[in-house]
């Protein structure tokens, strides 16, 4: 039996954040200015680089799979 354990991400996933931002719903503490967009992108790239370095292939990189904490 295999299990997946996820850290609690109080801000949900990136897809939800992007959907809220598109619909102008201000129910999030995350400001999507250009700096934060670049920061999120950089952190995703760092995570992918790390899992690649330990020989893991993700195969499903999508906004719904990017969890956001505070």
Task: Say whether 19 is catalytic.
Answer: no
Q: List, for residues 36-48, the tens digit of each pLDDT value.
A: 889 999 999 999 9
Q: What is the pTM of this model?
A: 0.73
Contact 62, 5 (CB under 8 A): no
Would you state the pLDDT for residue 61? Answer: 92
| Bridge partners, residue 67, by sequence | 13
Q: List, for residues 46-67, the tens digit of each pLDDT value.
A: 999 999 999 988 888 999 999 8
Q: List, for residues 7-18, the tens digit of each pLDDT value.
A: 888 888 999 888
Would you state the pLDDT for residue 45? Answer: 95
Considering the candidates 29, 55, 60, 69, report the single residue annotated as catalytic: 60
- Closest of 16, 28, 32 to residue 64, by C-alpha: 16
């Amino acid at each position: 039996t295999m299990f997946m354990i996820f850290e609690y991400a109080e801000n949900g996933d990136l897809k939800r954040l992007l959907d809220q931002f598109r619909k102008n719903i201000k129910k999030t503490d995350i400001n999507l200015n250009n700096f934060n967009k670049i920061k999120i992108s950089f952190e995703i790239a760092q995570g992918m680089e790390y899992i690649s370095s330990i020989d893991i292939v993700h195969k499903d990189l999508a906004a719904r799979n990017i969890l956001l904490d505070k």
